[in-house]
Amino acid sequence: MDYTKIDELLEKYFEALTDLEEEAQLKAYFKSDKIAPRHQKYKALFDFYSQEQFVTNPRPVRYEIRKPKKNYWFAGAAVLILGLGLFGLINKKNVMNMAENNPNKKEKVIQEMKVYTNHLNEGIKNVSALSIFGQKIQKVFKVKKDSIQTKNKNNNRKK
């Protein structure tokens, strides 16, 4: 056998440049009894590869297909918020119509609306303080950021 060709193939093999035919030639060479003494050190490597191709996993591999969890409560919360928002708009229009029809009640309605908006603004400030607290907790416990936190950040930037 031409040992210079084997040397070239080994050189290409260790540089990961051989194709399947050349690797088959190397496997056949190392399976034969006519191995040059300088190539004896590689025989164990190719014997290992030829034995490993028959090794199988003793346990079958189980694949689990997980169905994504459906969070219906997000949809419920969205419907609730939309419902409350629409109720507030309709109620505001009715109150303003009543106030326009009766000039004595107009001042009273405006005062009540101011009180209502002040309470609403205080609640928004408290919620923003909670979101800052939540961010600190997530940093401490290294919790992954979720979409709610990014929405809170976007809302804080708009203010």
What confidence tens digit (pLDDT) does each residue in 31-72 have? 888 888 888 888 888 888 777 777 777 788 788 887 777 777
Which two tokens mark 37? 């003494």
Give the Cα separation of 19 and 22 in Å (integer).
5
pLDDT for position 147? 47
Phi-psi region of 101 (alpha: psi -120 to 50; beta: other; left: phi over 0): alpha
Residue 26's pLDDT band (cuts 50, 70, 90): confident
Give the Cα separation of 64 and 118 in Å (integer).
53
Which two tokens mark 110? 């405006």
- Give the mean pLDDT of the chain: 76
> Helix (H, G, I), strand (E, B), or coil: what is residue 36?
coil
CB of 30 closer than 8 Å to CB of 42: yes
Q: Could you report the per-residue pLDDT of 111-147, keeping only the tens digit for each?
A: 888 888 887 778 777 767 667 767 777 777 666 655 4
Of residues 114 and 150, which shows the higher confidence score?
114
**What residue spans define the domains of the chain?**
3-52, 88-158
